[in-house]
Amino acid sequence: MSEFLNERQIELKARARDIAERVVRKVSAQHDRDQTYPYEVLEELRKASLTGVWIPREYGGEGGGVLDLCVVIEELSRACGGVGVAYAVNALGSFPIILAGTEEQKKRFLPDIATGKKLVAFGLSEKEAGSDAGSMKTRAVREGDHYILNGEKKWNTGGKVAAINTVFCVTNPERGSRGISALLVEDGMPGYRKGKEEDKMGIRCVPVIEIHFDNCRVPAANLLGGREGMGFKDAMMTLDRARPGVAAQALGLAQGALELAISYTRERQQFGQSVSSFQGIQWMLADMATQVEAARQLVHYAARVVDSGARGLSKASAMCKLFATDTAMKVTTDCVQLFGGYGYCKDYPIEKYMRDAKITQIYEGTNQIQRLVIAREMLREAAAGKESPKDSGAAK
């Protein structure tokens, strides 16, 4: 549905759908099988000027917001969840530069990201620091005009193909999360090594790797924002803006799977009639369509809240991530069910939707962490006296 999107978003949606239908659908299964990066899709995205949708115009982008980004991610993910995240992770990696970079850093890094010449990743998680991101151990020590970086990062989505990695590290171990900073690490910097690539259940076309820093020398000019100690907040603010993108990926997967299921149940004949003529199947289709539309409205609402800069964006962002990704898991699983035994085999693309959907409940903050973010903000609002039952008259 395109209702309530503006003209520009409808046009972006059409541009993304064209690439999804013309290119992504043809190459998706092969990249899934071989775990290879979809460079031909990247080339099409570059030609269609979609690689810089979220980057401000003054740095070579399209000047779009999070809703514009979500519209594109949904369309790509409707054809392939892996392609959706291969695209979206560049927003995750570059939001810290947009939000907190110095003017010099924005001018140096953003134009090449906007054209798709350089891909970018986000290095936050470590083997022992996943949900508890603030407990990271990767350490940077200033030596003259460089930082010496030591440690390793895990779950670095897109890291293998990225030329730039936004890496969060401890610069002052005495200060807890206030002692965390971010360094913009570039390919070729001495001591920066890309390591093990994960063999994943889904989103197999986007490489997820470990990255290692062995006395890696990073120029002090690459300290994000030119200030130490801001890294954790910058990471949290980034995730607030990026989580609607994960939700849009989930939404695209759910929408794409539902369309395949509608088409299959119309064609599949059992007991002398189309499977879609059975009421039990129709109820499943109706429930799924309702859940998908509810997810879409929450994703669009959250993206608009983020774009408006309104208070409470963490809550809206976490809510849409939680709801849309749980919806995607349920809908893709039910769609596999509708395909019966064929759904469990690779003859049809439907099983891939279910595999691709699972990660959306896990990365960029597990859905348990999203609930924590939502509840914390609700309780903060309650403590501040906002929206209390007494004020709203509900207690009378």
* Distance in angstroms (rounded) separating the CA atoms of residues 235 and 266: 46
**Smallest separation, CB 232 to ligand CAA (Å):** 5
**Smallest separation, CB 133 to ligand CAA (Å):** 4
Do residues 311 and 352 lie in contact, with contact meaning Cβ atoms separated by under 8 Å? no
**Smallest separation, CB 317 to ligand CAA (Å):** 8
Site of tokens 């607030």? 240
* Distance in angstroms (rounded) separating the CA atoms of residues 79 and 255: 9
Question: Largest Cα–Cα distance of the chain, in whole Å?
Answer: 79
Which CB, 232 or 323, lies closer to ligand CAA? Answer: 232
Which CB, 155 or 323, lies closer to ligand CAA? Answer: 155
Q: Which residue is nearest to ligand CAA (CB)?
A: 365
Q: What share of the chain is helix, strand, coil (3-state, %, to 5)?
A: 60, 15, 25
**Smallest separation, CB 98 to ligand CAA (Å):** 15
Which CB, 131 or 290, lies closer to ligand CAA? Answer: 131
Instruction: List beta partners, residue 122.
Output: 166
- Under DSSP, is residue 118 helix (H, G, I), strand (E, B) or coil? coil
**Smallest separation, CB 373 to ligand CAA (Å):** 5
Which CB, 17 or 154, lies closer to ligand CAA? Answer: 154
* Distance in angstroms (rounded) separating the CA atoms of residues 341 and 228: 55
* Distance in angstroms (rounded) separating the CA atoms of residues 396 and 391: 10
Which CB, 139 or 178, lies closer to ligand CAA? Answer: 178
CA dist list (Å): 206 to 45, 76, 146: 15, 14, 31
Which CB, 20 or 89, lies closer to ligand CAA? Answer: 89
**Residues in contact with ligand CAA by the rule CB under 6 A:** 89, 92, 122, 124-125, 131-134, 155, 157, 177-178, 232-233, 236-237, 239-240, 314, 363-365, 369, 372-373
CA dist list (Å): 154 to 124, 127, 159, 185, 384: 8, 6, 10, 15, 38
Site of tokens 């879609």? 276
- String of DSSP letters for 282-307: HHHHHHHHHHHHHHHHHHHHHHHHHH
**Smallest separation, CB 83 to ligand CAA (Å):** 15
Print burial letters for 246-263: b (CB count within 10 Å at least 16), e (below 16): bbbbbbbbbbbbbebbbe
**Smallest separation, CB 234 to ligand CAA (Å):** 8
Backbone angles phi, psi at 171, to 5 degrees: -105, -20
- Under DSSP, is residue 219 helix (H, G, I), strand (E, B) or coil? strand
Neighbours of 288 (CB within 10 A): 23
**Smallest separation, CB 37 to ligand CAA (Å):** 15
Amino acid code (one letter) for 144: G
Which CB, 231 or 256, lies closer to ligand CAA? Answer: 231
Do residues 367 and 317 lie in contact, with contact meaning Cβ atoms separated by under 8 Å? no
Which CB, 49 or 367, lies closer to ligand CAA? Answer: 367
- Residue 122: which H helix or E strand, with range? strand 120-123
Do residues 333 and 350 lie in contact, with contact meaning Cβ atoms separated by under 8 Å? no
Catalytic residue among 293, 364, 377, 387: 364
Q: Is 364 a catalytic residue?
A: yes
Residues marked active site are found at 364
